[in-house]
Structure 1
């Protein structure tokens, strides 16, 4: 499916890609799910990838809460810029490295539902009109939601598939 342009497409694609990711992961034994990826990747295993997705959901939820209250959120996170995202992603990886895979799965499913609720609570116009909300800058709320959901799940699936081949 092409990049979502409507609320319904965004809900459908985010759910579809989320399920595809989880179905792929669950097709492996627990032992394989816990296997380390090859050297040279930031995310060292499936748990790291899922924790990454979860934390980016949390960032989005924070931006949304602050932005919808009429303030300008610090994006991507306090102390970081879009240019320093690799450092932020490393901090995320370190933060969750001792969190078990089952716990990370629960956290991700919970934050996924919170993000889905944002989508459900907005109209097409609210989601896809550029500059509708001051805090989204020159883009739309939907663009942020696509990046944190369907596109991010697709990235995660491709990364995990590549690592599982090795």
Structure 2
């Protein structure tokens, strides 16, 4: 799928990649989800599927924070307060820790909820707001949302397929 250029394309990309992701996650038993046997976000590290979902939830939560702040006319602190773009490895570690206490089903429920909230926030905005002008440096709001939702969902799907194959697990 090409890079979304409109609200409808953005919603379609999010839906397509998230639906596939949810199908994969539903096929993963809780006991396997916590094993640190997947290549991590930082080079030379290992993470669990639980960490991967925590990472997605962390970014989805930031997208919500950004969009809500923007709607309130408040400045948006990209990527996150206290972090710079060259510290994304540290931010990933923060996300892992933020959601470490959630069990597998709670974590998935939170991710579904965050995705639904993002879709709702997108639906409250026009194509012009989403794609009509730069929002962060040269990137439009729609592109920043895509960078942190549909694109990471697609990346996670690839990681999960590779991980499942190495564990002789069918994702459906």
1:50-129 alignment runs, 5 A limit: 50-129=53-132
1:129 deviates by 1.4
Deviation at 1:34, TM superposition (A): 4.5
Q: Distance between the aligned counterparts of 1:14 and 1:156, measured in 2?
A: 13
Which residue is equivalent to 1:156? 156
Confirm or deny: 8 A CA contact 2:59 2:149 kept in the other structure: no
Task: Check conservation: 2:62, 2:80, Cα contact below 8 A.
Answer: yes
As a proportion of its length, which structure holds more helix?
1
Residue 169 of structure 2 aligns with which residue?
none
What per-residue deviation string (whole Å, max 9, x for no partner) do you get for residues 50-88 of structure 1? 111111111111111222222322111111100111111
Which has the larger strand fraction? Answer: 2
CA distance in 2, matches of 1:73, 1:28: 36
Does the 8 A contact of 2:50 with 2:104 survive in 1? Answer: yes
Q: Equivalent residue for 1:6?
A: 6
| TM-aligned CA deviation for residue 107 of structure 1 | 0.5
TM-score, with length taken from structure 1? 0.87
* 2:121 is aligned with 1:138: no
Q: CA RMSD in A?
A: 1.9
The yes-or-no answer on 1:41 pairing with 2:77 is no
Instruction: Evaluate the alpha carbon distance shift between residue 35 and residue 86 of structure 1 in structure 2; reply closer, same or farther with a 3 A threshold.
Output: closer
- Confirm or deny: 8 A CA contact 2:30 2:104 kept in the other structure: no
Distance in 2 between residues matched to 1:28 and 1:83, nearest whole Å: 32
Deviation at 1:116, TM superposition (A): 0.5
The equivalences for 1:17-36 within 5 A come to: 17-36=17-36
Distance in 1, matches of 2:124 and 2:165, equals 40
Structure 1 residues not aligned, in runs of 5+:
none
List runs of 5+ in structure 2 lacking aligned partners: 167-172
Task: Assess if the C-alpha contact under 8 Å between 2:83 and 2:91 holds in 1.
Answer: yes
